[in-house]
Chains A and B, each alone.
Chain A
Amino acid sequence: MTPGLPSEATPPVADWRDAMPSNRHRYSYAFLDEGAKREIRRKMLKAVAIPGCQVGFGSREMPIARGWGTGGLQLTLALIGPDDVLKVIDQGADDSVNAVNIKKFVQRVTDVPLTTDTAAATLIQTRHRIPESPLGPHQLLVFQVPIPEPLRLVEPSERKTRRMHAEADYSRMWLYLYEDIVKFNEITVGARYPVIVNRRYLMDPSPIPRWDVPKLNRGEALFLFCAGREKRIYAVPPHTEVTPLSFEDFAFRVEDFHGRRCERCGAGHSFLDEVVDDESGRRTYSCSDTAFCDQRSRQNRQGSR
């Protein structure tokens, strides 16, 4: 064929933009190349086989900055397929900037359907919350993790923390909590409350509130954690014992919302955000999990009709 002349099989195009591949086809399916996906997939299997153990991986450059969910995003992209329905939440909200950007990006490179309904999603990427509605056995929850090493609080050296994990020597973490009680008569760790997984590994559950920690224990879904900046993957399989560190005479307790209710849906049993009115100074509360709140509000409206 003469170069420059269109062949019979490909008719000439009127507009060059029509000839450009769509966004979806300019990149590999799910953005990552197959080699990157295979490495992440292998590391994820090892992370599931050794619950709570941090497995190093080669974190790739992503089109968002490190620290903005690149870890969670890489797991999502390595897992996702055309059969999936994706939900992304940020601090419980489906519509905050981080969540919206991530889900738009994933949809652009995969064409998967998006949802805000927790029950309809097969793959949920989350920053700092676990949905209020219980997860089922065929759902995957992917956490974005800023600091995967729970011992970083007490030991700056990675080599030393690795040794501490190898020896299951968590005495300094216990001491840290004990000193907190002595100083403040309270364990002051709010989010990122350290937990022991399968009676072996100390694990950082990512900055979820204490409220969500009990949901990790013997859950139905598979929980996957990934820190893109720190290049670590770890996991909690279904039906796995996850216990927060606590003392016999100083039990672990979750945030207390006694006597408070969501202003919008009236829920008294969900994790609440405090909202302060700038003008009147009035404090109100609303559910942190927006999908849960929406669902309850809808039910309330239907009930009152």
Chain B
Amino acid sequence: MGLLQRNCQKNYRILLDAMSRPGRVARLTGIAEETPFASALAMGRCLLDHEVSLCAIGNDSAPALQSALVQATGAATGPSERADFLFIVGDRGNGAVEHAKRGRPESPEEGATLVYCLEDEGTKRAPASVSQRLRIRLSGPGIAGTAGIMPEMAGIPQTEYEILMNVNADYPLGVDTFFVRPDGGVMALPRSTRIQVR
């Protein structure tokens, strides 16, 4: 088994674990922090190929990420409203999330997968964001008990939670979201997770 294959298998199990335990942070392996977008590329290598399309949006470095992903995986590119995988550089979707694919009632799985590639600033702002995270409550499949939990990952603006809450309001239609950090930290919010903002 080659190193690339090995990392893909390991990272897939980590992504699957994150998806089945929403709001918890797992850590991808084989991430060299000095490379920009190493976490996003590791996810891309694990999930993307020519059968799916992707779109990267966000700040000025989005085109660089998009071409790196295409080069590494051979995935097609498409507009954000038709892409299977939507990579968002930074912590704000800037209107693209609302228009991402949500699937059809007969095939809700056609809804897009969102990947927020967060930057390190979030962790530096940590003290402020704890009080902010306290206002968010997650519950549903994968989360023990009925009281709900606070998301473990810091630095995600409250407005993004509100947008995801609205986009996934018509369950089972909706989008499934990963948040990744440069150090490999990854947290998932599948559409089945109920988000409450107090």
Contact = CB atoms under 8 A, between A and B. Distances in A.
Interface of A: 29, 34-35, 37-39, 41-51, 53, 55-56, 79-83, 162-163, 165-167, 198, 200-201, 218, 222, 235-241
Looking at B107, B141, B190, which has the most chain A CB atoms within 10 Å of its CB? B141
B140 A198 contact: yes
A222 B13 CA distance: 12
Contacts, number: 106
A292 B173 CA distance: 41
B106 A166 contact: yes
B9 interface: yes
Interface string B129-157: 00000000000111111000000000000
A45 B106 contact: no
B21 to A, nearest CB: 7
Contacts of B106: 162-163, 165-166
Contacts of B19: 45, 48-49, 237
21 contacts: A37-B9, A38-B49, A41-B12, A41-B47, A42-B47, A45-B16, A45-B19, A48-B19, A48-B20, A48-B142, A49-B176, A50-B172, A50-B192, A79-B16, A81-B6, A82-B6, A162-B106, A236-B141, A239-B142, A240-B141, A241-B141
B105 interface: yes
A161 B48 CA distance: 30
Closest CB pairs A-B (n = 10): A49-B190, A166-B105, A240-B141, A29-B1, A46-B109, A237-B20, A49-B176, A81-B9, A237-B142, A162-B106
Interface string B5-21: 11011101101100111
Contacts of B140: 198
B108 interface: yes
Given A35-B49, A51-B141, A79-B16, 8 more contacts: A44-B16, A49-B176, A79-B9, A79-B13, A81-B1, A163-B106, A198-B140, A237-B19
Interface in B160-190: 171-172, 176, 190
